[in-house]
């Protein structure tokens, strides 16, 4: 019997392609290459080449997933709270 997926995890159900697309939209390839120095971000970057590299390079994928998790935390802090909208 497998455990039920943790739906409280913000990464639950998010594909690697979605992660990359969101990161590129927010940071751009140049900033991503500065944060994580890997060639698929700095030399002729594309979603396809990055997916191929990240799927076979666990240490790089972990760094990208952490960057995405950090982005989600920043976005969550920027959202107005329900209490503030009631006033």
Mean pLDDT of the region 52-70? 96
> CA nearest 20: which of 53, 79, 74, 34?
53
Whether 79 maps to a domain, the answer reads no
CA–CA dist 64, 32 (Å, integer): 9
Q: CATH number, domain at 54? A: 1.10.720.30
CA–CA dist 54, 38 (Å, integer): 10
* Statement: residue 60 has pLDDT above 60: yes
pTM above 0.85, yes or no: no
Number of domains in the chain: 1
Q: What is the pLDDT of residues 17-38, one digit of tens each?
A: 999 999 999 999 999 999 999 9
Whether 51 maps to a domain, the answer reads yes
Range of the domain at 69: 21-73
Q: Provide, rounded to the nearest whole percent, the portion of the chain with pLDDT above 70.
A: 77
CA–CA dist 21, 50 (Å, integer): 11
Burial class (CB in 10 A: 0-12, 13-18, 19+), 9: exposed
Whether 10 maps to a domain, the answer reads no
The pLDDT assigned to 17 comes to 96
């Amino acid at each position: 019997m497998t455990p039920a997926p943790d739906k409280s995890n913000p990464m639950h159900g998010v594909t690697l392609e979605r992660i990359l697309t969101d990161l590129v939209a927010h940071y751009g390839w140049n900033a991503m290459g500065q944060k994580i120095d890997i060639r698929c971000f700095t030399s002729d970057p594309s979603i396809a080449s990055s997916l191929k590299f990240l799927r076979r390079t666990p240490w790089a994928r972990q760094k990208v997933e952490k960057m995405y998790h950090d982005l989600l935390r920043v976005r969550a802090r920027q959202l107005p709270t329900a209490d503030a909208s009631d006033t």
